[in-house]
Structure 1
Amino acid sequence: MENISKLWMGPLPKDSPYVKPFRLYYVQNGVEKNWDLLKVHDSVAVILYNTTRRVLIFVRQFRPAVFHSLITSSGYDVAELDLQKFPPNIGITLELCAGIVDKNKSWPEIAREEVLEECGYDVPVERIEEVMTYRSGVGSSGAAQVMYYCEVTDNDRATKGGGVDDEMIEVVEYTVEEAKQLVQQGSKINSPPSCLLGVTWFLMNKAPKFD
């Protein structure tokens, strides 16, 4: 996952299946305005809790966007990448199991597939509980994400997970006490807001019953 040896930039191809940039024009209160936007896929995210060992299940993966942001926000050029100063592990994130909605299936079914592919747990869709729907990237895409919650056991483990094709995903476990540290004041971690929202929701709504 951390074996990144080269980094460079190029123009976004028009046939990208994931990102479609465009400019939206509109009139607000009589004034013509515009906004640069990205058309991206909606997505699902799943809060996973293993009741056998009482741990939350997360995934770790290298995110080029995070790595690039850390390099450029420090005033450096990616074309002159210094892997000693910026080791690839700074671009690794901690996230909920998640995936884009790009199949002709129901959202809970897509969530179920992501749980199996990324984390290795094979559960029926009936055990996946919808939590909430919200918008991500409100300044750039406004895409919808549905968050789910699923309790699993060691008996549900079918594979080691890790993703499909050329994905490189590490499955990690946090105790409830360790998860609390993620959302404490002053915490600094490479996690998207959806992950921290999911942890907070779990601590408020599910954790008390396991005490």
Structure 2
Amino acid sequence: MEQINNIQVVPCTSSNYLKPFRVLYSQNGTKKSWDFMRTHDSVSVLIFNTTSHCFILVKQFRPAVYMCEWEKNHPTPAEEKGSEAATVPEEEEEKGVAENHDHLPPASAGVTYELCAGIVDKPHLSLEEIARQEVLEECGYDVPVTKLRRITSYRSGVGVTGAKQTMFYLEVSDENCVGEGGGEPQEGELIEVIKVPLQEAMNFAYDENIPKTMGVIFSFIWFHNNMSPKYKISTNV
């Protein structure tokens, strides 16, 4: 996960996941246009291990995050430089820093902590069944769909995609763990399973030095407000 090289930014002529459009419309008599991206809805799961009293998150490299960090230090957009975004020498990869603007940032710049999640691309499965599959593939816990509790759904990326994400809560135990997780290698997934102790959850959520999704922050707050009294454990708020 920590070795990123041979980066090239090329035009995306077709994709199974994103399709760009421009909508033309009139609002209160004013003609307008807006560019948006059609993409899949998704599910996410806040997983709490009742054996060890910890949350189960996933950690993975996100190219979009990485390229945002790369472009902060480069006046020329990456798509214009193309393959000029050269590989960092091996000795500098080990240092984890790029010493000038011609070098890539460390891979850690694109790594984020997230809830277990996945896109909704199987019409024959319910949202709960898709969520259950993601929990098994990414985190290694095998549970029945009846254990999933729906928290809420919301629109994410409203300025660009408007896709809906549905969030679930799931309690697991060590007995439910049947594998290491890590995602599906044949789909290009490289996922690390992370445990966050309940007592450290809110500090983790508000620590700006830990790159994470809004879903992690929101779900930890939800747990604090709705579930922590059940376990009688402080979440350090």
| TM-score interval, smaller chain | over 0.9
- In structure 1, C-alpha distance between the alignment counterparts of 2:201 and 2:73, rounded to whole Å: 29
Query: In the alignment, what sits opposite 2:142?
Result: 122
Query: In the alignment, what sits opposite 1:178?
Result: 200
SS at match of 1:191: coil
Give the conservation status (yes or no) of the 8 Å contact 1:61–1:170.
yes
Query: In the alignment, what sits opposite 2:73?
Result: 74
Unaligned 5+ segments in structure 2 are 79-83, 89-96, 99-104, 233-237
The CA RMSD measured in Å over matched residues stands at 1.4
SS at match of 2:48: strand
Unaligned 5+ segments in structure 1 are none
Q: 1:188: how far off? A: 3.4
SS at match of 1:183: helix
Which moved further from structure 2: 78-87 or 126-135? 78-87
Counterpart residue type for residue 4 of structure 1: I
Query: In the alignment, what sits opposite 2:30?
Result: 31
- Please tell me whether residue 43 in structure 1 is matched to residue 60 in structure 2: no
Q: 1:8: how far off? A: 1.0
- Please tell me whether residue 208 in structure 1 is matched to residue 229 in structure 2: yes
Give the conservation status (yes or no) of the 8 Å contact 2:6–2:87.
no
- In structure 2, C-alpha distance between the alignment counterparts of 1:76 and 1:47, rounded to whole Å: 39
Identity %: 44
SS at match of 1:172: strand
Q: 1:6: how far off? A: 1.6
TM-score (norm. length: structure 1): 0.94
Query: In the alignment, what sits opposite 2:3?
Result: 3
Query: In the alignment, what sits opposite 1:91?
Result: 110
Find the structure with the greater CA-based Rg: 2
Query: In the alignment, what sits opposite 1:195?
Result: 216
Superposed, which structure 2 residues align to 1:124-163 within 5 Å? 124-163=144-183
Give the conservation status (yes or no) of the 8 Å contact 2:8–2:85.
no
Instruction: From the superposition, tell whether residues 197 and 100 of structure 1 become closer, same or farther in structure 2 (CA, over 3 Å).
Output: same
Which moved further from structure 2: 94-103 or 79-88? 79-88
Q: 1:80: how far off? A: 2.9
Deviations along 1:43-65, whole A, 9 cap, x unmatched? 00000000001000000000000
Deviations along 1:6-33, whole A, 9 cap, x unmatched? 211011122x100000101110110000
Aligned length: 209
